[in-house]
Amino acid sequence: MSERDTRTGEPDILAELQAEVAQDLADERPPVGGPAYQVVAALVVLAFGVGAAVLAHGYGLGSLRRPGPGLWPFVVSILVAVLGVVLLVIGRRLDDAEKFTRASFLVLAGGATFVGLGILMPTIGFEIPAVLLGIVWLRFLGGETWRSTIVVSIATTAAFYLLFLYALKIPLPHLF
Amino acid sequence: MDWNAFLDGFAVVTEPTNLLYCLIGVLIGMLIGVLPGLGPAATMAILLPIAYNAGDPVSAIIMLAGIYYGAQYGGTITSVLLRIPGEASSVVTVFDGFALAKQGKAGTALGIAAIGSFVGATISIIGLTFLGPVIAGYALDFGDPEYAALALLGVLLVATVGNGHMVKALVAAAVGLLLATVGADSFTSANRFTFDTLQLQGGIDFVVVAMGLFGVGEILYNLEERHGKIHVPAAIANIWPSRKDLKEAGPAIGRGSVIGFFLGVLPGGGAVMASLAAYAAEKRVAKDPSRFGRGAIEGVAGPESANNAAATSSFIPLLTIGIPANASMAMLFAALLVVGVTPGPQLIDENPELFWGVINSMYIGNLILLVLSIPLVGIFVKILRVRPAILAPITALITILGVYTINNSVFDIFLMIGFGILGYLMKKTGFEPGPLVLAFVLGSLMESSFRRSMLIFDGDPTGFVTRPISGTILAFLLLVLLLPLLRRVLRRRVTETIEPDHHDEKAELR
C-alpha cells in the first residue's frame, strides 16, 4: 500500500479516510488518560522485562552452540525491557490510553463476580452462583428491571444446566 | 491437485452433523457481527472449549471457521442501518451504506453487500482451493531456520501492520513470546517461570490465555464502555437489488474481491485493511469521486467484497504453512492443536478430510450466509433490539463454565480471570491484546526451531541469512521494519509544515 501512496501524487486517500473514520470513532471514545498512564504502563513493562531477565539468567544461558533453557527467555526479556525504555521516552506524547472513570468500578464489580463464581463453584455447584452472577450483572451492572433480571438469570442457568450436564455430558460441579 | 480428496471433502461437509455445525457457526458469526461488542476473535476464544468437547474435530473447526467469515456478513447490517460498524472491517461501509439508508435505499445497500460478500468469499475460496496445495507443496521444504524466520515475520507483521502504536504492539508480542516459555523446557525439561507450582509446569494453556485476554478482557471492557443505547432501525424493504444497481456494483465487487484476496494472505493484513484499500481503490477509479460518502453503491460493494475475500484468504497461511495471519486465525490454530492436529504443510496429506472439509465448508457456509442475509435479513435486524446488558452475563457464564470444562480445573478459571484483567488493562492503556495472543501461539514453535537451528548451524547465527529461503524471509522482515520509519522520514520532509502525522490516527482505528 505504501508504494501506492508514494506513486500517485494526489493526497493520500487512504490516510484521509482513516482520519475520517478515526474522527467518527473518537466521538464515542471515553476521555483520554494523561501522560501518567503512559509512564506507569512503560514502567510496568520495564519491571516485567527486567524481572524476567533476572529469572531467565538464573536458568542458565548456555552458549549459542548449545543454548541453555534460559537463553531464549533471556533474549526476549531484554527485548521487553528495552521496549519498556523506548515507551518511557516516547510514550508521554501518546494519547491512546483511556482514563479510569466512575464506570470503571463496574468492571471491578464484574471481575469480583467472576472470582466469586470461581470460588463457590467447586463447593456448592455452579447453579446458585450462576444465578447470583446473573442478578448482579443484569440488575446492578446492567440496570435491567427486577422482572427481566430474575427471568433471564434463571432461564440462562437452566439452559446451561441442560446443555452441559445432559446435551454435552460434561461433569460440571452441580448441586442438584 | 488431488480431485478425489477435494470431492471427499464435500462428502465430509455434507454429513448432517457437519452441516449443522457449519450452520451454527455462521449463525453465531452473523449474530456477533450484528451485535457491537464482541468481535470474531473474542467469540472464537470463548467457544474454543467446544474443540475439546465436540465428538468430531472437523465439525468443531468448521464451526469456528464459520464464526469468522459469518461475522463479516453481520457487521454490514449495523453499518448500513445504524451507522455503527458491527465489526472493524465494516467501518468504511458506514460512509456510503448509511448514506444510502438515509435515501431509503438501505435494502439495496444490504442486498449488494450480501452479493458482494458472497462473490468475494467464493472467489477467494476458489483461489484457496487451487493455491493452497501449491503453497503447501513449497512449504514442505522448509526446515527449522525457515520456520524460525517465518514465525518471527508473522509476529512482527501482526505487530507492525496491526492497529495501535507499533512499539506497544511489539511489547505485547514480546510478552506473548515470554509467556510461551512458562513451564518445563522441552529440550532440558528445566522448569522456567513456574514459581514451584505444579499447575504451571505443563505451561500455560493457550486456550486459557485467549479466553482471558480476548473473552473476559472484552466482556469487562464492554461493561464499562456501555454500548447500552438501543437503536431501533427503520424497517427495510426491497432487499433485492435492481439490475441497474448490480451493473453499477459489478466491477467494484470484482476489484474488491481481488484486492481482498491478496491483502488477506499477508500476515497482519486481513479484512480491516482490505476493506479500507478497496474503498480507496473505488474512490480512485470512479469518474466522479465526489459521490462517495453520499451514497455510492460502489462504496458498499467494494469494501464488503474485499473484507470477505480477505477473511477467506487469510486461511491460506494457516492451512498451508501453519502460520496464523491474524488473531482470529490464531484461535483456529489453537483449536487445531487442541484436536491434535499440527497446522502446517503436512496437513493436506495427513489430514485431507480436515483440510478439504474445512475449505469446502466455506463454499456451503457462504451459500447459507447469502440466504440468511437476503431473505432473512429482517430477523437479524430485530436482534438489534436485544439489549447488550442481557447478553453480557450469558457470555460471562459461557466463558467461566467453558474454561472449567477444558481440564476440570478451577486453577484455569483464576488464570483466565487474571488474563482477563490484564486484557482489560491493556485495552485501557492502548496495548492491543492481539499481538500478545498471536506471539504466544507461535512462541514455542519459534523457540524450538530457533534452538534446533542453532544446533544445525553449530552456534553460528549467520546461517539464518545464508540459507536462501530463510534469508529472503529475513530480508523481507527487515523491509517491513524499516518501511514505517522510512515513510515517516519521507513524509516529514514533504509536508514539514501543515500535515499532522497520520500514524496516531491509525491507532484509533480499531
The residue extents of the domains of chain B are: 3-508
Q: What is the pLDDT of residues A124-175, one digit of tens each?
A: 888 888 999 889 888 888 888 888 889 989 998 998 888 888 877 777 787 7
Q: Do B220 and A80 touch (CB under 8 A)?
A: no
Quick one: DSSP state of residue A62? Answer: B
Side-chain half-sphere exposure of B81, counting CA atoms within 13 A: 29
Distance of CA B503 to the CA centre of its chain: 22
Residues from chain B that touch A121, judged by Cβ atoms under 8 A, are 400, 404, 410, 413
Contact B429, A42 (CB under 8 A): no
Tens of pLDDT along B331-369? 888 888 888 888 888 888 888 888 888 888 888 888 888
- pLDDT mean across residues, chain B: 79
Cross-chain Cβ contact A76/B181 below 8 Å? yes
A107: pLDDT strictly greater than 60: yes
A21, A104, A160: best to mutate for the B interface, most B CBs within 10 A? A21
Residues 6 or more apart whose Cβ sits within 8 Å of residue A142: B228, B387, B388, B389, B390, B392, B393
Interface contact A79-B174, CB threshold 8 A:
yes
One-letter identity of residue B305: S
Q: Where are the alpha helices (DSSP H) in B180-324?
A: 206-210, 217-225, 243-265, 270-285, 298-313, 315-320
pLDDT at B248 over 60: yes
Beta-carbon separation of A144 and B460 below 8 A: no
* Listed range (A106-110, A167-171, B109-113, B120-124) with the worst mean pLDDT: A167-171
Q: What is the complex's ipTM, to 2 decimals? A: 0.84
CB atoms closer than 10 angstroms to residue B81: 24
Asked if residue B489 has pLDDT above 80, the reply is no
Which grid cell is B5? 480428496
CB A102 within 8 A of CB A71: no
Backbone angles phi, psi at B460, to 5 degrees: -105, 105
CA B10, CA B363: separation in Å to the nearest integer? 10
**Is the Cβ pair A29, B508 closer than 8 Å?**
yes
Best CA proximity match to B114, nearest among B306, B361, B295, B373: B373
> Do B430 and A1 lie within an 8 Å CB cutoff?
no
Smallest CA–CA distance from B409 into chain A, residue = A122
Closest chain B residue to A160, measured at CA: B398
Across residues B179-199, what is the average pLDDT?
Answer: 80
pLDDT of residue B419: 92
pLDDT of residue B183: 82
Q: Is A19 on the interface with B (CB under 8 A)?
A: yes
Give B93→chain A minimum CA distance, Å: 11
pLDDT of amino acid B500:
44
Nearest CA to B120 among B352, B313, B403? Answer: B313
- A vs B, Cβ pairs < 8 A, gives 233
At B60, the amino acid letter reads A
A141 touching B (Cβ < 8 Å)? yes
Give B503's pLDDT tier (boundaries 50, 70, 90). Answer: very low
The alpha carbons of chain B give a radius of gyration, in whole angstroms, of 22
User: A130 at the B interface (CB within 8 A)?
Assistant: yes
- Beta bridge mates, A102: none
Region B279-304: what's the mean pLDDT?
77
Report the pLDDT value the prediction gives residue B162, as an integer from 0 to 100: 62
Minimal-distance CA residue of chain B relative to A23: B505
CA separation for the pair B447, B201 (Å, rounded): 17
Q: Helix, strand, coil % (nearest 5) of chain A? A: 70, 0, 25
- Per-residue CA distances from B343 to B19, B127, B330, B333, B350 (Å): 23, 19, 11, 7, 10
- Residues of B in Cβ contact (< 8 Å) with A144: 387, 389-390
CA neighbor of A171 nearest in space, from B94, B407, B76 = B407
Is residue B336 within 8 A of residue B342, CB to CB? The reply is: yes
Q: Shortest CB distance from A80 goes to which of B174, B427, B487?
A: B174
- Whether residue B370 has pLDDT greater than 80: yes
Place of cell 482513516: A18
Q: Does pLDDT of B132 surpass 80?
A: yes
**CB of A112 within 8 Å of any CB in chain B?**
no
B498 or B62, which is more confident:
B62
**Using one digit for the tens of pLDDT, what is the confidence trace for B80-89?**
777 766 666 7
Nearest one of B364, B361, B367, B407 to B58, comparing CA atoms: B361
Instruction: Read off φ and ψ for residue B234, nearest 5 degrees.
Output: -70, 160
Helix (H, G, I), strand (E, B), or coil: what is residue B142?
Answer: coil
